[in-house]
Amino acid sequence: MKDQKQSDLPKTAAPAQRALESAGITTLKQLTEVTEAELSQLHGMGPNALGKLREALKAKGWSFREPTKAGKMDKTIRSKMDDIFTGDGQTQFKAYDYLMKESEKPVSWAYDVWDEVVSGLTHKDNHVRAICGQLLGNLGKSDPKGRMFKDFDKLLNVTKDEKFVTARHTMQNIWKVGLGGKKHQQLVVQGLEKRFKECIKEKNGALIRYDILVTLRNLYNATTSNEIKEKALELIELEQDAKYKKKYATVWKKA
């Protein structure tokens, strides 16, 4: 794990260290903001690592966050979800900002809003589509039941949205689905490979290809999976325009 010596987290096995890093957790104090169940959903986080983290918290007089009682979603989350669909730009942005920050770590309320978010992917308001596309990407790390495998194509379709800014924002965040575990990671890579091959016929195809390679690089940085690197380099070789091929290759320098 990066900066392990500067962190007050206890030493754990490498997979658990990577899991914590992918969730943005670098201090013990941050562990008080997540439940033990949410943490256990992270790929690589096993019972031994959880035990060490639990004991480290106990030594400080702290503990994991208590889970929300079943059927009782946080009122603020509910309110912000409602705000997405108001049609008021400022209200929508505030809701987007809050929900995206909250869902940077695994959350217990993912399935409470899941169907609503998926439905928003095809909403008539492109702002709603953009928000829901990015939010669903974030919720991928909170998907132990694997619902993303049913809905990922719907999310991928937003990367073809008629509003290019909506498509691009969704593309740039879709890599976070891969933080849900190895299978989620493979789902993202396969989907992006498909988009890379088909988008060349689309308007802005070269820019879409660039975004796909940046997205794959972000997922690689978070997981250090050589499978992702190999696939990205393989896709770059498909580009026939030397100028674009050179540009794409810069994304993967020093990888």
Tens digits of residue pLDDT in 30-39: 888 888 877 8
What mean pLDDT comes out for the span 91-114? 94
Asked if residue 64 has pLDDT above 90, the reply is no
Q: What is the pLDDT of residues 180-218, one digit of tens each?
A: 989 999 999 999 999 999 999 899 999 999 999 999 999
End-to-end CA distance of the chain: 17
Task: Tell whether the model's pLDDT for residue 71 goes beyond 50.
Answer: no
Q: Which of 13-27, 65-79, 214-228 has the lowest mean pLDDT?
A: 65-79
Does position 4 have pLDDT exceeding 60, yes or no?
A: no
pLDDT at residue 172, rounded to an integer: 96
Asked if the model's pLDDT at residue 22 lies above 90, the reply is no
Neighbours of 4 (CB within 10 A): 13
* Mean pLDDT for the stretch of residues 224-237: 95
% of the chain exceeding 70 in pLDDT: 95
- Identify the pLDDT of residue 3: 41
Q: Which residues contact 132 (CB under 8 A, 6 or more apart)?
A: 84, 117, 118, 119, 120, 121, 123, 158
Where does the pLDDT of residue 72 fall: very low under 50, low under 70, confident under 90, or very high at 90 and above? Answer: low
Predicted confidence at residue 5, as pLDDT, reads 43
What is the chain's mean pLDDT, rounded? 90
pLDDT at 21: 85
Confidence of residue 69 (pLDDT cuts 50, 70, 90): low
Per the CB < 8 A criterion, the answer to whether 175 and 141 are in contact is no
- Residue-wise pLDDT for 126-168, tens only, equals 999 999 999 999 999 999 889 999 999 999 999 999 999 999 9
Which tokens hold the place of 162? 């008629």
For residue 3, give every residue at least 6 positions away whose Cβ sits within 8 Å of its Cβ, in sequence order, or none: 26
Q: How far, rounded to the nearest angstrom, does the alpha carbon of residue 59 sit from its chain's CA centroid? A: 32
